[in-house]
């Protein structure tokens, strides 16, 4: 991600430029049954894609609140502010925003495990 555009953060144009070059997993990249493992600064999340475009979620906040396996939508990713990229599930340096208003700490790494993968 590039440097901020000004002392207050990114401009809309700067955010668009930066988010277009992200290392990210987009919503169109996953199929039902795929799992996205995401490591944020504070937590590990497992998101399994469902047929309706939502995810079954485990770990992090869901584990702490005893809500593992919750069905939830990913609204997109942001830099923690009011601009969100709605096409992205997880992107390095960005925060995941869930439909329950949960915003994670910044994503440090992620991996996609395709349905039917074997160790």
Into how many domains does the chain fold?
A: 1
Q: Of 94, 109, 97, 106, which Cα lies nearest the Cα of 72?
A: 97
Residue 1: the pLDDT is 43
pLDDT at 24 over 90: yes
| Reported confidence tier of residue 58, pLDDT bands at 50, 70, 90 | very high
| In a domain? residue 68 | yes
Range of the domain at 39: 24-113
| In a domain? residue 61 | yes
Residue 14: the pLDDT is 59
Model confidence pLDDT, tens digit, residues 29-51: 999 999 999 999 999 999 999 99
Model confidence pLDDT, tens digit, residues 83-108: 899 999 999 999 999 999 999 999 99
**What is the Cα–Cα distance from 20 to 72, expressed in whole angstroms?**
25
């Amino acid at each position: 991600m590039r440097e901020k555009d000004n002392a207050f953060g990114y401009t809309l144009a700067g955010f668009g430029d930066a988010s277009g070059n992200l290392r990210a997993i987009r919503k169109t990249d996953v199929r039902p049954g795929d799992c996205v493992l995401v490591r944020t600064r504070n937590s590990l999340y497992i998101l399994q894609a469902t047929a309706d475009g939502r995810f079954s979620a485990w770990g992090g906040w869901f584990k702490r609140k005893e809500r593992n396996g919750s069905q939830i939508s990913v609204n997109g990713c942001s830099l923690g502010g009011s601009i969100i990229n709605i096409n992205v599930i997880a992107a390095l340096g960005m925060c995941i925003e869930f439909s329950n208003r949960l915003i994670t700490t910044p994503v440090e790494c992620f991996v996609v495990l395709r349905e039917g993968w074997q160790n």
